Every structure is written in C-alpha cells, then in structure tokens.
Amino acid sequence: MPQFAANLTMLFTETPFLDRFEKAHNSGFKAVEFLFPYPFTASEIQKKLDQYGLKLVLHNLPAGDWDAGERGIACHPDRVAEFREGVAKAIEYAKALGVPQLNCLAGKVPAGVDQKLLHDTFVSNLKYAAAELKKVGLKLLIEPINTFDIPGFFLSTTQQALDIIKEVAADNLFVQYDIYHAQRMEGELCNTMEKNLSKIAHIQLADNPGRNEPGTGEINYVHLFKFLDRIGYAGWIGCEYKPATTTEAGLGWIKKLNS
C-alpha cells in the first residue's frame, strides 16, 4: 500500500498553516510535505511535527517571490548568488527538521534570455546544490511542471529532467514525479515510472482535469497505486491536489484503498 503525505500547502487551507498539522494527523496521515517552511521558524514547525507524530518528507528550496508569481529562480543567470543563499537556508531548515530531500523549482523562462544560457545556469546551480546537500546527506529533486498551468516553466518533461540529471552527474539528484503534471504534458504514466523508477525519489498526485483529489478525473488511480506497489516504489506520495470541496470531505479515496 502506498504511503501518502499530506501537502499542507494545498490541503486544509481553510485553517492557518500551523494548525494544519493537527488536521493532517486527525485525518490519518503519518507524514506531511509543503512548499516552504521559511515564513516560520524551524522550532515552530518541529513542535507541530513532534506534537502530532508526523514526519516531514519534503519541502522546496527558496523559489523567489512566490506571491509575485515567481516559481523558482534556478534557471535565472542573474540570480545565482540568491540561489546559493537559498540553498544554504534550505539546508539549515532541513537539518533542523529532519527532512531527507529538497525540491528545486527551475523557474519560468525570463524574457530575452538565450535557451542555452538558461540550461547551463540550471545545470551549474544543480551541481552546486547537489554538492552542498550531499555534505549533509540530503537528496536534491527536480520537478517537471506542465506549461498549461505555468506557461514558460523551464523544466516541463520527464525526459528533459533525466537528461539534465545525467549531465549534472550527481548521485543524490533525482526526479520528483508529479503525476498530474506528467499527465498533462506527456501521459504514459506507468511506463515512464517503471522505466525510470531508480531516478524517481518522490511522487505527487492530483487528478486531471481540475487538479482535484483522485477519483474526480481521468486518471485511473486504483490501477496506478497497485502498479506502484508491483514495481516496488518505496517512497512517499504527496497529496498535492486542490480539494473539490473540503479536504476532509474529499478523503474518501484513501478510505476506499484501505477498505
């Protein structure tokens, strides 16, 4: 049976962030993930993890000005120093919170910048980040994101991510495979996951269309979960979806799996 982590950025959003840990615990989750811990101190978050017996399995490197629409800066040639500062900050939080892996968002392509320069900047930043994370035993992840939801996002397909991982040549660099984004960009979910299982360290989910909970769209999640068990995926699956109504009302899909 897959292990599910509640994404606290997307779930229980009617509740203040630090109160979502209790909601996740009460809903049966054993682990959580979220985009960013940085608005809070590590001790504030750790207190909630300890209080509710939760494991933190993932958060992201700093990704620029999120509220202004930025979705990462790792491909931006003019922000390398800021990226490196973010790596140090993320490692500080990860060490305090015991998270085993950090996700690096590539970012949207800035206007007027040569594609090769963007690629080379991203690769260089990943080499730096992977080396820094390896010093403290952490995995670095990169996540392809669909360009329908985020037009211009630099990293958008599994193959592009795999090619970049090969070029970076760091043994702690992996793919964060988001089923929703992959379905929108390329399909072939089962074949892609099986073929590249050794390079996939984390999976996230949402159904399509709508990015709501499993069972609301076209993706056969009952089949996918059995398939992941069969091929031996041993990582966590982050529930990064937008509840169609409330989070609690939409958790029936997990109950069906366990029945």
33 is catalytic: no
Of the candidates 70, 213, 240, 248, the residue annotated as catalytic is 240
**CB-based contacts of 25: which residues, under 8 Å, 6+ apart?**
52, 53, 54
**What is the separation, in whole angstroms, between the first and last Cα of the chain?**
12
Separation CA 215–CA 212 (nearest Å): 8
Q: How many residues does the chain have?
A: 259
Q: DSSP 3-state helix, strand, coil percentages of the chain (rounded to 5)?
A: 45, 15, 40
Q: Please report which helix (H) or strand (E) contains residue 8, including its range.
A: none
Residue 246 sits at φ, ψ, to 5 deg, of: -110, 160
Of the candidates 14, 143, 186, 218, the residue annotated as catalytic is 143
DSSP string, 147-180: TTTSTTBS---HHHHHHHHHHHT-TTEEEEEEHH
218 is catalytic: no
Distance of CA 191 to the CA centre of its chain: 21
Cβ burial of 81 (10 Å; 0-12, 13-18, 19+) is: exposed
Separation CA 147–CA 168 (nearest Å): 23
Reduce the DSSP state of residue 124 to 3 states and report it: helix
Q: Which residues are part of the catalytic machinery? A: 143, 240
